[in-house]
Amino acid sequence: MQERFKISVHRSCRLALLQRSVWYAKSTARDQSALRQRIRDIAMSRPRFGYLRVLVMLKREGWAVGKKRVYRLYRLEGLQLRMKVRRRKRIALLRGKVVPASGANQHWSMDFVHDQMHDGRKFRILTVIDQWSRESVSLEANYRLTGRCVGLALDQAARQRGWPRAITVDNGTEFTSKALDDWAYKRGVKLDYTRPGKPTDNGLIESFNGRLRDEFLNVNEFITMHDVREKLRAWQDDYNHHRPHGSLGNLTPNEFATMRSGQPKEVANL
């Protein structure tokens, strides 16, 4: 009203039913520009993150903020609108050439294999291998495996051999879950995600899964989950200690690891 009709503050406040003290009041709110910029930076660099995951990242960096404030600034920045972008455009990230592992526990690979019981009930198997020795680190079978279940299985494997530096995984919901992200952060393990639609980025685990299906799943019938786990345990022992591996010079994974290290592998103190 002041700009359009050229009237005084007193008259414009009276017409707007607004106290002049409100007009002249100075804001005492803290400057949020740095926090807003950091929220935008995180959201732009990690397009799949919602405001709750952004809050976790901020707290890791030392920001003393609450959920409500992050949500308010997140919406003020209009970041929720980015979810309308097509999925493939959000997650298609460039990757450099992966350096091959040169020792045990440097880099693992992880994936899922699906099959069914004799009565038609479906189950899943979490497969984990060491990229250097091709050793089967873990074979965890269950009807349902969540991100939390994956973390527990990896902890169980780590009790015998220690945690790896990195694990290559695809973009499945279990591997992109907050539970597994929190697990990896607390243990200092990097999750190395493959490009969508590029299974060759994790070719070693794809090859292992092919051997598992061809030599184990296709030649066995399963009655109960206990039956699956018992047979899996026996096959894993045979794979690691008795089955020759072509890419390892026809050595077993255990023989290859022992010969290259010069001595039996030490168990990490957890």
Structure tokens at 184: 């990896």
How many CB atoms sit inside 10 A of residue 56's CB?
16
**Band of pLDDT at residue 90, cut at 50, 70 and 90:** very low
- Look at residue 89 in the predicted model and tell me its pLDDT: 36
Residue 262 pLDDT level (bands cut at 50, 70, 90) = low
What integer pLDDT is reported at residue 83 of this predicted model?
A: 46
Q: How far apart are CA 258 and CA 261, in angstroms?
A: 5
Determine which of 73-87, 157-171, 204-218 has the lowest per-residue pLDDT on average: 73-87
Per-residue model confidence as pLDDT tens digits over 16-60: 898 988 888 887 778 888 999 999 888 887 776 788 888 988 988
Given a contact cutoff of 8 angstroms between Cβ atoms, the answer to whether 118 and 223 are in contact is: yes
Q: Sort strands 166-169 and 190-193 into parallel, antiparallel or unpaired.
A: parallel
Contact 249, 239 (CB under 8 A): no
> DSSP string covering 167-193, please?
EEE-S-TTTSSHHHHHHHHHHT-EEEE
Higher pLDDT, 112 or 243: 112
Residue 245's pLDDT is 85
**Count of Cβ atoms closer than 10 Å to residue 62 Cβ:** 6
Share of the chain above pLDDT 90, in %: 48
- Tell which wins on pLDDT, 40 or 270: 40
Q: Encoding tokens for residue 118?
A: 């004799």
Specify whether the CB–CB gap between 166 and 192 falls below 8 A: yes
Q: How far is CA 242 from the centre of its chain?
A: 33
Whether the predicted model's global pTM rises above the 0.75 cut: no
Q: Of the candidates 141, 126, 210, which has an alpha carbon nearest to the alpha carbon of residue 174? A: 126
Per the CB < 8 A criterion, the answer to whether 108 and 168 are in contact is yes
Instruction: Please tell me the distance from the alpha carbon of residue 185 to that of residue 190, in angstroms, as a whole number.
Output: 8
pLDDT digits (tens, 9 = 90+) for 159-208: 988 989 999 999 889 998 999 999 999 999 999 888 887 888 888 999 99
> What pLDDT sits at residue 99?
65
